Structure 1
Amino acid sequence: MSTPYAATPVLANDRVRLVALAPEHAEELATAVAEHELWRTWYTRIPSPDGMPAEIERRRALQDAGRMAAWAVIDPSSGRAVGMTTYMNLDPDNRRLEIGSTWLGVSAQGTGINPAAKLLLLERAFEELGCVAVEFRTHWHNHQSRAAIARLGAKQDGVLRNHTVMPDGTLRDTVVFSVIEGEWPAVRSGLEHRLRIR
């Protein structure tokens, strides 16, 4: 079932370009994820270099089914793919979605690429798709991600205890954050000031 929520138009600003995830991104993404063996991080699910083509196809299949919008994150300074991000848990009837399954190569972290990408994704969600809420979820032990989400201006909704069984058999407590429609103008201003894009 097709939905505008699952579309992947090019989204761009001075710091980042988001383009539809495609098989031709596999080699650059494998290089990005191999740096410092990012894919071995135990508390998140990041594809291995060898598993990158399959992960790209998995995300594209979910998009074809109307269940995900999958982008490659492009660093405009190099033109290279440095990560992935998605809209997921699409709920058009309730005008909600989650921004998630995001990872960036180590060299791209702390460069402004992540908040710039989130600004683009939040702009589309609230201003083009008419969302009333956008959610973010992460592992309780992923303190870097939790801090980054809070810096975006999202508020913590709660913790889903024993929410997911991880590949290594451990149980993930999932921390849920969101930005709601009424908060978006302040969140947008905060991100724009932080990035000084406009």
Structure 2
Amino acid sequence: MTTEQPGGVVPAPREALVEAVFGARADLAARYVEILATAGVERGLIGPRETERLWERHVFNSAAVAGLVPQDAGVVDVGSGAGLPGIPVALARPDLHVTLLEPLLRRATFLTETVTALGLDDRVTVVRGRAEDHDTTYDAVLSRALAPLPRLLGWCLPLTARAGVVLALKGRSAEDEVAQETRALARQHLVADVLSVRASEESEPTTVVRVCRA
């Protein structure tokens, strides 16, 4: 399995690995990577140097959070950008209804075109807007490398249903961020865990900060 792109070919992992993560939607995942490597790069949503790392660094990294989302949940991806993590999560979990929330017009346009190209219109919705102005609540609120934890929670918590969860894909700073916010989280009656999850046993781990109400 390979994915064509303007400068050559994006190497893909073994088909068995893609199928382990995306099941019957493995071909759609490959099509999504192709879109990221072409239109995503051309429109400035993906850096040209990222094309060789799309599967592991972006798609599998995003799909890893899918296992933390409740069954049949309503999900919103805040600041979705190129559709990460929302589209990989939707592909990995066909039971979910996913909203891609993105304030910038060019990104929202890209997302709408991509969702249509992948045939996900029936359960993936693109909304152009800011989190602060969005008035719907969800079972799970996702974000990926969006902002430091305090600002992120300011955007995401109002979108979270009473029993819902915020799932923030973070980097190496996750432990430090949570430690620094211990008192602030306690005052808001919030519980935060730092988790290491994988899309499959063979993929790289993703660090996720999970926040829910106590």
TM-score under structure 2 length normalisation: 0.31
Higher strand share: 1
Larger Rg: 2
